[in-house]
């Protein structure tokens, strides 16, 4: 019982040390209030000392007050200084403990001094002593309210002495005053207790609120899957880095990284595996990044980097190379190792862009270019990209203003049987004759039309035109027509293509629709569905530019294809380049294995054709036979077929002789 009482008393009279936030709040409050307390204490003390000057001894009215003044001024100065800056938690605790330990001595000293003056004055002076003690202690308690042990000690030391002293004077007025002070002291103790409890609660609530808001801020700026900074945080970091780069005249680089082949992995193995890969990608990026590279996840399979290291183009190239290589290393997650890749676009300040947003847009453009032309590697935004971007903007404007039915038309390029040299089909290739820009290549306007959502409106009139013309060819000549990403992207667009085919009167059994590997990879289930619809109609489906994308055999098997078109990059110089030869050979073998027809694109020379023919009979297409020509020329081309074959047979005979 006594032990618990002593423990409670010890708790009440010592500084709490387990709540740093409370200590900080107490420290701040005291540093504001204690200098004021010392000022009032000194003024009241000197008022009492001066009124006692004529009667009391010199050491009581001058020496002790001077000593007390020095102590009080020193303490007040310490608190005044501490108001400027918050020290470390340990220092705060030490400082509060020191104050707490000093309080009984200072309170005791003032109490003893004022009571020592009591015998030297008349009744007025004695009343002044009582008043000085009674009123000054209230100020002191108020000023020290935030440090409960100090306020309690002051109350106990001063008021207990006061009550005992004045109650024993046998003077009814002073006894009554002692009773008053006793009651006031009790009330003060209750108020002090309530105030301190409220103060502690407020500090704790504030701490919790702050913690919660910090947590919210962290969550709002963090990607929940990878734990990396998210898009919002990325832009905050970028803006800050940009301001610093401008101020210090330093170089800044921004990289945007997009995973290659991630979507098929997600579709094949499920989202949980996809999520784990994203987490592992985040980890690999952090390992490579170092302290001055900020990594963020923008969303989906897109990550971003802010590189503050003042790196040269060569250093950026080297960094990008390592990064892409590392992300190409297999991920060991399920029974089979999973391999994806990454393309990185980088833009720099001040050489490339002049603002944070522009820097991001340029990096995005570099990524787009990298994805199109060199997936799996790093692409640095260059002066030619800037020109191209400008060019694209002009093309986009002209495209938006273009009269689709009038300005767009198709040319046809023949596709031949490599052994018999018989023309088996024509591929329709779009052309744009713009009044502002002249003749524009589809390689330039198709990607822009796709980006601005104009491609569906372009596909239908072109397809209508091509089918209409193809009806004039002799029975059996096929038509190949290129579709873009968005043509297969929705039920409506697929249906409108089917409607055009049905309305054309051309037999769909002689129509091949070409889709590129990149289209397929965008959304396999959707493309699978679209292909199913076209196949039901009787159309053939060719996989265009085969060998340039990331499709795997299992993905190809999932699609009801009828033809593979091997990209022309493998054909160039095939007769002198053994690597190209081997690639085409294996792609041809693959198409045979899959029971698909095979077209080899981009045959430009006799030598290339010879090399290809040694691989067996396939279909071929290229400038060696004919450039894309107008519809009228296709009729002439077909009419001259007999003559061409005769000439070719003669050449054959000459060669073999
Ligand atoms: P693609 O479907 O792979 O078409 C073949 C491209 O290679 C054509 O370029 C053709 O002119 C070119 N080419 C053919 N033989 C040779 C050769 O021996 N050497 C070289 N260097 N090039 C050859 P074009 O007409 O500029 O078309 C480029 C691409 O634009 C096409 O590639 C296709 O992806 C797209 N495209 C063309 N027309 C359309 C269309 O109507 N709709 C859609 N969505 N895309 C189209
Ligand atoms: Mg094509
Ligand atoms: Mg092609």
- Asked if 258 contacts 341 with a C-beta cutoff of 8 angstroms, the reply is no
Place of tokens 């104050």: 99
- Residue 441: is its pLDDT beyond 70? yes
% of residues, the chain, pLDDT over 70: 96
Q: Report pLDDT digits (tens) over 605-625.
A: 999 999 998 888 789 999 999
3-state secondary structure of 515: strand
- Residue 646: is its pLDDT beyond 80? no
Q: Report pLDDT digits (tens) over 257-311.
A: 999 888 878 888 888 899 999 999 999 999 998 888 999 999 999 999 999 988 8
- Residue 63: is its pLDDT beyond 90? yes
- Mutation pick for ligand 1 pocket among 444, 459, 484, 601 (CB with most ligand atoms within 8 Å): 601
Cβ < 5 A residues, ion ligand 2: 482, 514, 544
Dihedral-angle region of residue 46 (phi above 0 means left; psi in -120 to 50 means alpha; beta otherwise):
alpha
3-state secondary structure of 248: helix
Whole-number average pLDDT of the chain? 90
Half-sphere exposure of 642 (CA within 13 A, CB side): 1
Tell me the CA–centroid distance for residue 429 and ligand 1, in Å. 6
- Per-residue model confidence (pLDDT) at position 188: 86
Closest CA to 57 of 69, 67, 49: 49
- Ligand that comes closest to the CA of residue 518: 1
- Ligand 1: does its nearest atom lie under 6 Å from the Cβ of 545? yes
β-sheet bridge partners, residue 342: 259
3-state secondary structure of 603: coil
Tell me the CA–centroid distance for residue 279 and ligand 3, in Å. 36
What distance separates the 2 farthest-apart alpha carbons in the chain?
150
Tell me the CA–centroid distance for residue 557 and ligand 3, in Å. 20
β-sheet bridge partners, residue 564: 543, 598
Closest CA to 299 of 347, 235, 362: 235
C-alpha to C-alpha distance for 627 and 603, rounded to whole angstroms: 11
- Ligand 1: does its nearest atom lie under 6 Å from the Cβ of 396? no
Tell me the CA–centroid distance for residue 544 and ligand 2, in Å. 5
Q: Report pLDDT digits (tens) over 321-331.
A: 999 999 999 99
- Residue 494: is its pLDDT beyond 90? yes
- Per-residue model confidence (pLDDT) at position 548: 73
- Ligand that comes closest to the CA of residue 413: 1
- Per-residue model confidence (pLDDT) at position 483: 95
Residue ID of nearest Cα to ligand 1 atom 21: 602
Residue ID of nearest Cα to ligand 1 atom 2: 482
C-alpha to C-alpha distance for 273 and 262, rounded to whole angstroms: 11
Q: Say how many C-beta atoms besides its own lie within 10 A of residue 27's C-beta.
A: 24
C-alpha to C-alpha distance for 138 and 184, rounded to whole angstroms: 9
Nearest-atom number in ligand 1 for the CA of 514 is 2
Residue 607, burial from CB neighbour count under 10 angstroms (0-12, 13-18, 19+): middle
- Per-residue model confidence (pLDDT) at position 18: 77
% of residues, the chain, pLDDT over 90: 57
- Per-residue model confidence (pLDDT) at position 553: 67
- Residue 657: is its pLDDT beyond 70? no
CA distances from 218 to 214, 232, 300, 560 (A): 6, 11, 20, 48
- Asked if 429 contacts 410 with a C-beta cutoff of 8 angstroms, the reply is yes
- Per-residue model confidence (pLDDT) at position 552: 64
Q: Is the pTM of this model over 0.75?
A: no
Edge-first strand listing for the sheet containing 293-299: 293-299, 302-307, 252-260, 341-349, 378-380
Closest CA to 536 of 504, 499, 508, 564: 508
- Asked if 440 contacts 434 with a C-beta cutoff of 8 angstroms, the reply is yes
- Residue 531: is its pLDDT beyond 90? yes
Helix axes 313-328 and 271-289, enclosed angle (nearest 10): 150
DSSP notation for 406-440: HHEEEEEEEEEETTT--EEEEEEEEEEEETTTEEE
Q: Report pLDDT digits (tens) over 67-116.
A: 999 999 999 998 888 767 888 888 999 999 999 899 999 999 999 999 99
Nearest-atom number in ligand 1 for the CA of 411 is 25
C-alpha to C-alpha distance for 544 and 485, rounded to whole angstroms: 12
- Per-residue model confidence (pLDDT) at position 519: 67
C-alpha to C-alpha distance for 199 and 145, rounded to whole angstroms: 10
- Residue 599: is its pLDDT beyond 90? yes
Closest CA to 301 of 334, 356, 340: 340
- Per-residue model confidence (pLDDT) at position 336: 74
The tokens of 386 are what? 């800037």
- Residue 12: is its pLDDT beyond 90? no
- Per-residue model confidence (pLDDT) at position 6: 73
C-alpha to C-alpha distance for 542 and 599, rounded to whole angstroms: 9
Average pLDDT over residues 53-64: 93
pLDDT range class, residue 217, cuts 50, 70, 90:
confident
pLDDT range class, residue 35, cuts 50, 70, 90:
very high
Total length of the chain = 657
Residue 579 dihedral angles phi and psi, to the nearest 5°: -65, -45
Average pLDDT over residues 221-249: 93
- Residue 243: is its pLDDT beyond 90? yes
C-alpha to C-alpha distance for 157 and 137, rounded to whole angstroms: 10
- Asked if 573 contacts 580 with a C-beta cutoff of 8 angstroms, the reply is yes
Nearest-atom number in ligand 1 for the CA of 624 is 18
Closest CA to 253 of 305, 211, 195, 191: 305
Does an H or E element contain 600, and which?
Answer: strand 597-600
Average pLDDT over residues 332-352: 87
Nearest-atom number in ligand 1 for the CA of 455 is 44
3-state secondary structure of 307: strand
- Asked if 620 contacts 600 with a C-beta cutoff of 8 angstroms, the reply is yes
Based on its alpha-carbon atoms, the radius of gyration of the chain, rounded to whole angstroms, reads 44
Number of helices (H) and strands (E), helices first, in the chain? 26, 16
- Per-residue model confidence (pLDDT) at position 521: 65
C-alpha to C-alpha distance for 504 and 467, rounded to whole angstroms: 6
3-state secondary structure of 112: helix
DSSP notation for 29-85: HHHHHHHHHHHHHHHHHHHHHHHTTTTS-HIIIIIHHHHHHHHHHHHHHHHHHHTTS
Average pLDDT over residues 22-37: 91
Give the residue numbers marked as catalytic: 301
C-alpha to C-alpha distance for 591 and 265, rounded to whole angstroms: 23
- Residue 122: is its pLDDT beyond 80? yes
β-sheet bridge partners, residue 293: 307
Torsion angle in degrees (nearest 10) through CA of 167, 173, 178, 182: 140
Place of tokens 């009124």: 51
Per residue, what are the HEC states of 368-403?
HHHHHHCCCCEEECCHHHHHHHHHHHHHHHHHHHCC
Q: Is the dihedral of CA 441, 445, 446, 447 positive or negative?
A: positive
Q: Report pLDDT digits (tens) over 382-427.
A: 999 999 889 999 999 999 999 888 899 999 999 999 988 899 999 9
Closest CA to 141 of 109, 167, 107: 107
C-alpha to C-alpha distance for 38 and 106, rounded to whole angstroms: 11
- Ligand 1: does its nearest atom lie under 6 Å from the Cβ of 604? yes
Q: Report pLDDT digits (tens) over 515-528.
A: 987 666 667 788 88
Tell me the CA–centroid distance for residue 356 and ligand 3, in Å. 37
- Ligand 1: does its nearest atom lie under 6 Å from the Cβ of 414? no
């Amino acid at each position: 019982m006594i032990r618990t009482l002593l423990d409670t008393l010890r708790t009440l009279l010592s500084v709490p040390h387990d709540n740093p936030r409370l200590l900080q709040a107490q420290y701040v409050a005291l540093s504001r209030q204690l200098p004021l307390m010392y000022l009032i204490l000194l003024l009241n003390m000197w008022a009492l000392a001066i009124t006692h000057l004529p009667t009391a001894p010199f050491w009581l009215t001058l020496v002790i007050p001077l000593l007390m003044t020095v102590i009080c001024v020193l303490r007040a100065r310490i608190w005044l200084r501490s108001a400027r800056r918050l020290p470390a938690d340990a220092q705060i605790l030490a400082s509060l403990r020191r104050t707490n330990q000093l309080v009984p001595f200072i309170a005791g000293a003032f109490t003893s001094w004022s009571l020592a003056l009591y015998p030297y004055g008349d009744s007025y002076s004695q009343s002044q002593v009582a008043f000085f003690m009674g009123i000054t202690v209230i100020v002191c308690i108020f000023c020290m309210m935030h440090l409960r042990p100090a306020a309690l000690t002051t109350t106990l030391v001063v008021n207990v002495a006061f009550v005992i002293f004045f109650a024993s004077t046998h003077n009814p007025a002073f006894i009554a005053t002692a009773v008053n002070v006793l009651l006031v002291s009790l009330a003060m103790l209750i108020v002090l207790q309530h105030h301190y409890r409220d103060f502690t609660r407020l500090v704790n609530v504030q701490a919790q609120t702050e913690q919660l808001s910090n947590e919210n801020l962290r969550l709002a700026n963090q990607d929940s899957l990878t734990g990396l900074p998210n898009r919002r945080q990325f832009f905050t970091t970028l803006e800050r880095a940009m301001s610093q780069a401008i101020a210090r005249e330093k170089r800044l680089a921004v990289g945007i990284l997009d995973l290659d082949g991630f979507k098929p992995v997600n579709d094949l193995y499920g989202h949980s595996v996809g999520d784990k890969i994203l987490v592992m990608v985040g980890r690999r990026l952090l390992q490579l990044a170092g302290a001055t590279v900020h990594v963020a996840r923008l969303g989906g399979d897109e990550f971003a980097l802010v590189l503050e290291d003042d790196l040269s183009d060569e250093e950026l190239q080297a960094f990008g190379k390592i990064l892409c290589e590392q992300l190409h290393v297999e991920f060991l997650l399920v029974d089979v190792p999973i391999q994806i890749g990454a393309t990185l676009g980088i833009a720099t300040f001040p050489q490339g862009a002049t603002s944070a947003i522009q820097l991001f847009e340029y990096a995005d453009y570099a990524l787009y270019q990298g994805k199109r032309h060199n997936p799996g590697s790093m692409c640095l935004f260059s002066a030619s990209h800037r020109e191209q971007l400008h060019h694209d903007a002009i093309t986009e404007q002209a495209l938006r203003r273009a009269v689709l039915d009038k300005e767009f038309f198709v040319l046809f390029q023949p596709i031949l049987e490599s052994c018999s040299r018989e023309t088996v089909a024509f591929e329709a290739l779009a052309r744009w004759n713009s009044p502002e820009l002249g003749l524009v290549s589809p390689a330039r306007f198709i990607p822009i039309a796709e980006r601005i959502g104009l491609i569906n409106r372009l596909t239908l009139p072109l397809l209508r035109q091509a089918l209409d013309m193809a009806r004039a060819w002799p029975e059996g000549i096929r038509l190949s027509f290129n579709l873009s990403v968005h043509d297969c992207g929705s039920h409506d667009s697929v249906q409108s293509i089917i409607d055009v085919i049905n309305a054309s009167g051309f037999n769909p059994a002689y129509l091949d629709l070409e889709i590129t590997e990149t289209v397929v990879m965008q959304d396999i289930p959707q493309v699978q569905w679209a292909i199913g619809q076209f196949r039901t109609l009787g159309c053939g489906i060719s996989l265009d530019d085969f060998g340039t994308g990331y499709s795997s055999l299992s993905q190809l098997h999932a699609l009801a294809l009828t033809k593979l078109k091997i990209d022309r990059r493998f054909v160039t110089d095939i007769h002198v380049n053994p690597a190209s030869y081997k690639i085409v050979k294996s792609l041809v073998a693959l198409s045979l294995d899959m029971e698909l027809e095979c077209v080899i694109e981009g045959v430009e020379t006799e030598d290339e054709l010879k090399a290809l023919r040694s691989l067996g009979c396939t279909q071929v297409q290229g400038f060696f036979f004919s450039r894309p020509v107008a519809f009228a020329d296709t009729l002439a081309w077909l009419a001259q077929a007999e003559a061409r074959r005769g000439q070719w047979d003669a050449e054959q005979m000459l060669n073999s002789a």
